[in-house]
Amino acid sequence: MYAEAYCAQSDRAGKVQQGDDMIETENESLRERVSDLEKKALDQGDEIVCLRSTLADVLRRLTLLENAVNSRGGLSPSSTGTVTPVRNGGFRGALNNHISQLKDGPLGGSRLRQPMYHQSSVESNNSIKEIAHRSNVPTALPQRRGVHYQSTGSLHSDSPSSNSVSPVPTSPSPTHTPPPRVSPSPRQSQPPTPTRSTNSNLHFAKRWSSTGDFNNSPHNGGSMNSRLATKSLLNLNVRVQSPHNMLKHGTRDATYNEEEKILRMFLRGRPIILYAPSSLAETYDITKVTTPPQSKLKLDWVYGYRGRDCRSNLYLLPTGEMVYFVAAVVVLYNVEEQSQRHYLGHTDDIKCIAIHPNKLLVATGQCAGHDRRESRPHIRIWDSVTLNTVAILGAGDFERSICCISFSKADGGQLLCAVDEANDHNISVWDWQKGERGQRITETKCSVDTVIAAEFHPLERNCIVTCGKSHISFWTLDAGGTLYKRMGIFENRDKPKYVTCVAFNHLGDVITGDSNGSLIIWARGTNTVSKLVRGVHDGPVFSVCALKEGSIVSGGGKDRRIVQLDSQLNASGLERQVPDHAGGIRVISEGRGSQLLVGTTRNCVLVGSLSMGLSTALTGHLDELWGLAVHPSLPQFVTAGYDKSLNLWDSMSHSLIWSKDLSEAAQSAAISPDGSIIIVGCVTGHWFALDSQTREIFTTHADGAEPIQVIKFSPNGQFLALGSRDNNVYIYQCGGDTRKYNRVGRCMTERKRKRSSSLTSFLGHSSFITHLDWSADSQLLRSNSGDYEVLYWNAGLCRQVPQSSSMRDVEWASNSCTLSFETIGIWPEGADGTDVNFCDRANNKKLLATADDFGKVKLYTYPVTQPRSLCHSYGGHSSHVTAVTFLHDDSRLISTGGKDTAILQWAVV
C-alpha cells in the first residue's frame, strides 16, 4: 500500500514537475513572443490593434494551458516552491502588465522592464479590462496609413515594389530583421514559434559613416526608440515622430551605408535610395561640406517685358536708356548701343514704376513674395546712374502689392504717393527723403473698386488724381497732412465702366481715357467734364501721352491704333496701327524728338514715330514658359510656352532670330544633336518636328492625352525619348535624315504576380515623368517621376533594369535628373520634393545649375554629392524658375521663368 501510495505520489510529483517545466517553457516562449511583437511594433509601425489581436491569441493559449495543468492536479506553492498560475491569476496579470508597459513604456521614452509575476487576481482582471478599454483609445504609436509606401514602390499600391530603386537587402541588418510586412489579419490560429534571441549576431553588424545613428542608443543614455535607427538596410535612420509630423523632407535625415555604398534621403517622407559610384564610394563621407564653385553668374541680358497686366511702365531716361521691368528686374536698355543694365534690388514681382522730376531717381514698387520677411511689399527708390538704393519705403506697411506710385512734381519731387492693392485700395503719401525708410504723412481708403492710376498734378502742389473702375477722384493734401477727396462728376454723359488712364496737358487740364474709347478733358481745379470726344478708339483707351509740343497721343487696346490729337482733342489725321502679333497698345511714352516708345499687351516694345513707322525693339513671351533647349554648336536657344509660340534666340546679338506660332500650348522642347531638327511637346500629348532653318513642320505624332513633360535626343541622334504626364516614357527611333520617327515602344508600368505569393509587384513609374537622361553610349535611359522615383531602362527594349546597383557606374551624357547621387546636395534640408524644378550640368562637368520654386537660380560645384553643399544663389525671377541650361560652350546659362514669362541670360565668370 505504501509502495503504491509512494509510486502514485511520485507519479503525481513527476506530472507536477512536468507541468511546471511546461509553464516555464511557455513563459520563456511568451517572453520571446512579446519581445518579437515589441520589435515588430517598433520596427514596422503597425497599429496596436494588430498587436492586441495577436496577444489575445497568446492569452487564449495560456488559458488552455492553465486549464490543462489545473485539471492534472492543481499546482500549489507548497508542492513546487514556485509561482502558482491560476485562472485569471497573477501570471496573466503580469502578462497584461507587460503589455501595458509595451504600450506606454517605449513610446514614452522609458526602457522596457521584465514582467513581475507576483500580482493578485484582482490586478490581473483589472489589467485585462484595461486592455479591452484601451483598444478603442488612440495611442502614441505611429498610425498605419491606408496605403503602404515601400521605399520606391507605387504610391498607389499596397503591394511591395520590385522597381530598381528598392534593392532587396543581401545581408542582415545590425538589429533583428523583421519578416516582410503584410496587412494585419484579425487573428492567427497558429502563431509562429518564437525563436530565442541571442547576442551572437554582432559579427553581422554593418559599419555606418555617421555616429548619429547610435546617439540614442540605450547604452549611451538614450531610450529604446533608438532601435528604430537601424531597423533594416533600407531604413538606416528613422526617428520616432509624432502622428502630426510623420513626413521627413530633404537631406536632414540622410544616411550613408558604407558596406552597401548607398545613400538614403527623404522627400515627403518617402525614402530615396541612391547608389554611390565606385570612384566615390570608398572615400565618401556624408559629413563633409562642399564649397561653392569659383565661377559665378552675372546677369548678362533679360528677354521680356511686362505689358500684359501693368500700365505706365515704360520711360526714357536722359542717359538714352529706356527703363521698364519684367519679373523682379528693372531693365535699363539702350537700343542704339544694344546694351543693358539691371537693378536687382527687388525680391518679387515689380508692379509699378515712377520717374522723379530730376529724371535720375526711379521708384519701383513690388508685391508680396514667398518669404514673408524678405519679400514684403515695399517701394524702392534708387539712382538710375549708379543703381544704388536711396530709400526703402513701407516694408511692413503695405498689405498686398503697390499698384500705382507717383512723385510730386510741383515741389520738385519731395513727396511720393502710393496705392496698395488691398481691399480698400489704401492711398498713402510719403516724405521719402526723411531717413532711409522715409516717413508716411497720411493714409486713407481710396476706393473699394480697382484703382488703375494715381498721378500728382504737375502744376498744383498737393493735388493727386486717381482713377479706376467707374470712378475718377481728385485729392487734396492739406497742411495738416489730411487727404480730401472729390469724386469726378460725369453729369448726363455716359459713365464708363473703367477710367483707364490719366495725363495732363500744358495748361494743367486733366485728360482721361476710358473703356468706351472716349477721351475727356477735366478743367484744371474742377471735378466736372469740360470736353468729351467719343469714338476716338474702337475699344478701351489704355494710354494717353501729352507731348512737349502740346499734342496728345492716345493708344487703343483693342484696335491697336495710335492716334495723335491737338491739345483740345481735335484729330490731326496722323495715326499708326501696330502689327497684330504685337498686341494692343498698353503704354505710350515720349522719346527723343518725335520718337515714341510703345509697350504692348503682348509684351513687346516698339520704337519709332507716327510719320516714319515703328519697329520692334524687344519681344517676350506672353504666358507661362516651360520649354527650353540649346543649340549643340551655336550660341542659340529655343523657348516655347503656353502662349503657343516658339522662339529661336541668339545669345550673342541678344535678338530674336525667328518666331513661329503654334496650334497648341507648348510644354517642352529639344534640338537634335546636329541642330537641324527642333521637337516641341504640347500639353495635349501631341508633338511635332520642324526644320530649324525653314520652320517647316514635317511630322506630327500623338502619345497619350497628357502633356509631354520632357524630350531628350540620345547622344548619337538615333533615338528620341519623350516623358509624358501619363507616367510613360515613349521611345522613337530616328531615321537616317532624322525626319522619320518610328516608335520602338513605351516604358510603362507593368504588374507581375509572384509565383510564391499572392502579392503583386510593380515595374515602371506610378506618377508623371519629370526628367530624363541618356547614357553616353545611347543604350540606357534614366528617369525621375512626380513621386520621386529613380528608374533605369534599356532603351532598345523599353524594359526596366531592375538592378539599380548595376547602374552606379554608368556614364550619363547629361545630368538633368534632380534625383541622382550626383545631385544630392541641391536638395535643401527641408525640401519637400517640389522645391527644385530643374537642373543642368555644364558640358565641362565642373558646374551644376538648378532652378527652384522660389525664383532662385543656384550654381554648384559638380558633382553635388554632399547633402550640405554650398552654392551661389541669384535672384531676378519672381516666379518659379522652370528650366536652366548651359550653352554649348558653357560661357552662358539660360533660365526661364514660369508665370513671370522672363528669360534671363547669365554670363559664367
Select the highest-mean-pLDDT range: 21-30, 179-188, 456-465. 456-465
Question: Is the pLDDT at 373 greater than 80, yes or no?
Answer: no
- Out of 327-341, 566-580, 741-755, pick the least confident: 741-755
The 8 Å CB, 24+ separation contacts for 174-180 are: 174/204, 174/205, 174/206, 174/230, 175/39, 175/43, 175/227, 175/230, 175/231, 176/36, 176/39, 176/43, 177/232, 178/39, 178/40, 178/43, 178/44, 178/231, 178/232
Predicted confidence (pLDDT) at residue 888 exceeds the cutoff of 60:
yes
pLDDT at residue 744, rounded to an integer: 94
In angstroms, rounded to a whole number, what is the distance separating the alpha carbons of residues 653 and 303?
12
Residue 523 has pLDDT above 90, yes or no: yes
Q: How many CA atoms lie within 13 A of 549 on its CB side?
A: 11
Q: Which residue has the higher pLDDT, 221 or 570?
A: 570
Quote the pLDDT of residue 751.
59
Q: Pull the grid cell for residue 337.
A: 548701343
Q: Can you tell me the distance from the alpha carbon of 98 to that of 460, in angstroms, rounded to the nearest whole number?
A: 88
Distance from the Cα of residue 764 to its chain's centroid: 24
Count of C-beta atoms within a 10 Å radius of residue 173: 21
Please write the tens of the pLDDT for every residue from 618-627: 999 999 999 9
Average pLDDT over residues 647-671: 96
Which sequence spans correspond to the domains of the chain? 622-752+762-908
Q: How far is CA 28 from CA 19, 22, 34, 612, in A?
A: 14, 10, 10, 102
Close Cβ partners of 744 (under 8 Å, ≥ 6 residues apart): 719, 731, 732, 733, 795, 796, 798
pLDDT tens string 264-275: 998 888 889 999
SS3 percent helix, strand, coil of the chain, rounded to 5, is 15, 35, 50
Q: State residue 546's pLDDT score.
A: 94
Query: How do strand 677-682 and strand 666-671 relate by DSSP bridges?
Result: antiparallel
Conformational region of residue 603, where left means phi above 0, alpha means psi within -120 to 50, and beta covers everything else? left
Residue % of the chain over a pLDDT of 70: 70
Q: Are 510 and 521 in contact (CB under 8 A)?
A: yes
| Cell numbers found for residue 872 | 551661389
DSSP class of residue 580 equals: G
* pLDDT range class, residue 77, cuts 50, 70, 90: very low
Asked if pLDDT for residue 529 goes beyond 80, the answer is: yes
Q: Which residue reads 557606374 in cell numbers?
A: 809
Q: Give the lowest-confidence range in 114-128, 508-522, 639-653, 740-754.
A: 114-128
User: Looking at per-residue confidence, does 793 or 17 come out higher?
Assistant: 793
pLDDT confidence bin for 832, thresholds 50/70/90? confident
714 — pLDDT class (breaks 50, 70, 90):
very high
Grid coordinates belonging to 643: 502662349
Q: How confident is the model at residue 1 (pLDDT cuts 50, 70, 90)?
A: very low
Taking the C-alpha atoms of residue 546 and residue 589, their distance in angstroms, rounded to an integer, is 9
Q: Looking at residue 211, what DSSP letter applies?
A: G
More confident residue, 21 or 835: 835
Q: How many helices (H) and strands (E) does the chain have?
A: 6, 59
Fold of 622-752+762-908: Methylamine Dehydrogenase; Chain H (2.130.10)
Strands of the sheet containing 255-257, edge to edge, are: 255-257, 262-267, 270-275
DSSP conformation letters of 532-546: EE--SSSS-EEEEEE
Average pLDDT, the chain: 79
- Over residues 172-202, the pLDDT tens digits come to 333 344 444 444 444 344 444 443 333 333 3
Q: For position 38, what pLDDT does the model report?
A: 55
Give mean pLDDT, residues 265-288: 91
Q: Is the pLDDT of residue 841 over 50?
A: yes
Residue 822 has pLDDT above 60, yes or no: yes
Cα(474)–Cα(485) distance, integer angstroms: 6
Tell me how far apart the alpha carbons of residues 108 and 100 are, in angstroms, rounded to a whole number.
12
CA dist 91 to 131, 283, 307, 367, 774, Å? 15, 55, 82, 70, 65
Give the rounded distance of the alpha carbon of 84 from its chain centre: 65
Q: Is there a contact between 557 and 573 (Cβ–Cβ < 8 Å)?
A: no
Higher pLDDT pick, 660 / 109: 660
Nearest Cα residue to 438 out of 409, 467, 407: 407
Q: Which one is predicted more confidently, 901 or 396?
A: 901
pLDDT at 383: 97
Provide, rounded to the nearest whole percent, the portion of the chain with pLDDT above 90: 60
Of 9-18, 215-224, 343-352, 525-534, give the lowest mean pLDDT range. Answer: 215-224
| Whole-number Å distance between alpha carbons of 557 and 570 | 20
Contact of 501 with 453, CB cutoff 8 Å:
yes
**What's the mean pLDDT in 138-160?**
35
Give alpha helix (H) positions in 567-615.
none
Place of cell 553588424: 205
- Residue 694 pLDDT > 50: yes
- 853 touches 880 (CB < 8 A): yes
Residue position matching grid coordinates 483609445:
137
DSSP-assigned states of every residue in 714-734: -TTSSEEEEEETTS-EEEEEE
The pLDDT value given to residue 248: 60
Name the least confident of 397-401, 741-745, 813-817.
397-401
Task: Read off the C-alpha cell for 131.
Answer: 486592455
How far apart, in whole angstroms, are the C-alpha atoms of residue 395 and residue 735?
60
> Across the chain, which distance is largest between two alpha carbons, in Å?
145
Nearest-angstrom CA–CA distance, 867 and 683: 35
What's the pLDDT at 830?
A: 79
**Is residue 32 scored above 70 in pLDDT?**
no
Write out the H or E segment, with its range, that includes residue 53.
Answer: helix 48-72
Q: What is the reported pLDDT for 313?
A: 94
Res. 890: pLDDT tops 60: yes
Rounded to whole angstroms, the Cα distance separating 392 from 389 reads: 8
Structure confidence at residue 831 (pLDDT) = 80
- The yes-or-no verdict on residue 232 having pLDDT over 50 is no
Q: How many CB atoms lie within 10 A of CB 475?
A: 21
Burial of 10-48, coded b for 16+ CB within 10 Å and e otherwise, reads eeeeeebeebbeebeebbebbbebbbbbbbbbbbbbbeb
Are 390 and 402 in contact by the 8 Å Cβ rule? The answer is: no
pLDDT attached to residue 23: 58
